[in-house]
Amino acid sequence: MATIAFIGLGNMGNPMAANLVKAGYAVQGFDLVPENLTIAKEHGVTVMANAVAAVKDADVVITMLPAGKHVLSVYEDIAPKAKKGALLIDSSTIDVESARKAHAIAARHGLPSIDAPVSGGTGGATAGTLTFMAGGGAAGQAAKICNNMILGISMIGVAEAFVLAEKLGLSHQALFDVASTSSGQCWSLTTYCPVPGPVPASPANRDYKPGFAAALMLKDLKLSQEAAQSAGAVTPLGAEATQLYALFNAQGNAGADFSGIINFLRGDQT
C-alpha cells in the first residue's frame, strides 16, 4: 500500500486522514496545532515533526490547508524534499492563481500535481463521501469556487426562510418537513440545516461550532467575486452574500460555523 503524507489536520483533514488509515494506508501527518496532532494520533496517523519529515518516502502528498498562501509556503518547503515521482494533491479551497503557482512549484521539481478541492463538509469527510473536483491546471478550483458561491447564497436563503417562518408562527420542523420535500430542497436545508432539531448532525445543534468556519466561507465568496470580475460574469447575489458574510465575520463570528449567519439575520447578538 502507498504511503501518504497528510499536511493540514484541521476540521476536514483529520477525518480524511482517519479514513485513509482505515482503508489500510500508512499515513504520515503534520499540522501546526498540537491538539490536531493528538487527534490524528488517536486515529492511527503517524505524527511527524514537520511537513518536510511527513513527505519523506511518501508516494502521495495531500494538503488540506486554509488558503493559497499556506499551500504555496508548504509546497516551497516540501517539493524539493519529496520522493521522486510523488503525486501532490491539494484539496484545500484556494484562488486559481495560487493553484497555478502550486502546479508550477511541483513541476519545477519534476513532481506531478493536481488541484482537487472537495465538497461535502465535515460530515462528508467523516463518512468518506466527499466529492473531489479533480481538475488539474487549476480547473478544480474554478468548479469549487462556483459551487461555494451557490452554497453561500443558498445558506442565506434557507436562513431567511426560517427567520420568516418564526415571524409567521410556523415551527422549524414544519417548515423543514414541507421545504425538504418541495422545491426549496437543497443541501443547506437537508444536510446542514441552520436551526437545531431537524438535522441532528448540523452545526446548529452544537451552538454553531464548525464545521465550516465563516472565515473560510468569506474567503471562498471573495474568490468567487474576484473570478467573476476578471471573467466579466455578473453575480449580484454572490456579491450580496459576500457583503453579508463580511458583516457577520466583522461582528466577531469568523470562527463560528457559516450557518450561524441565521443569528445575524435574526438580529441576535452572538
Q: How many angstroms from the chain centroid is the CA of residue 110?
A: 28
33 binds ligand NAD (CB under 6 A): yes
Site string for ligand NAD, 102-121 (x = CB under 6 A): ----------------xx-x
User: How many Cα atoms within 13 Å fall on the side-chain side of residue 199?
Assistant: 20
Site string for ligand NAD, 213-242 (x = CB under 6 A): ---x--------------------------
Catalytic one among 144, 167, 209, 222?
A: 144
Residue nearest to ligand NAD (CB): 10
Instruction: Tell me the one-letter amino acid at 99.
Output: A
Cα dihedral 204, 209, 212, 218 sign: positive
Q: Which of 7, 60, 106, 227 binds ligand NAD (CB under 6 A)?
A: 7
128 binds ligand NAD (CB under 6 A): no
Our finding on whether 163 is near ligand NAD (CB under 6 A) is no
Task: Say which DSSP state 213 is in.
Answer: B
Binding status of residue 204 toward ligand NAD by CB under 6 A? no
83 is catalytic: no
- Is residue 228 within 8 Å of residue 238, measured between CB atoms? yes
Binding flag, residue 66, ligand NAD (CB under 6 A): yes
The phi and psi torsions of 107 (rounded to 5 degrees) equal: -65, -35
**Sole binder of ligand NAD in the list 92, 141, 225, 253 (CB under 6 A):** 92
Selected binder of ligand NAD within 4, 17, 28, 36 (CB under 6 A): 36
Strand order in the sheet with 26-30: 46-47, 26-30, 3-7, 60-63, 87-90, 113-115
CA-CA distance, 69 to 80, in Å (whole number)? Answer: 18
- Stretch near ligand NAD under the rule CB under 6 A, chosen from 26-34, 131-139, 179-187, 225-233: 26-34
Would you name the residues annotated as active-site residues? Answer: 144
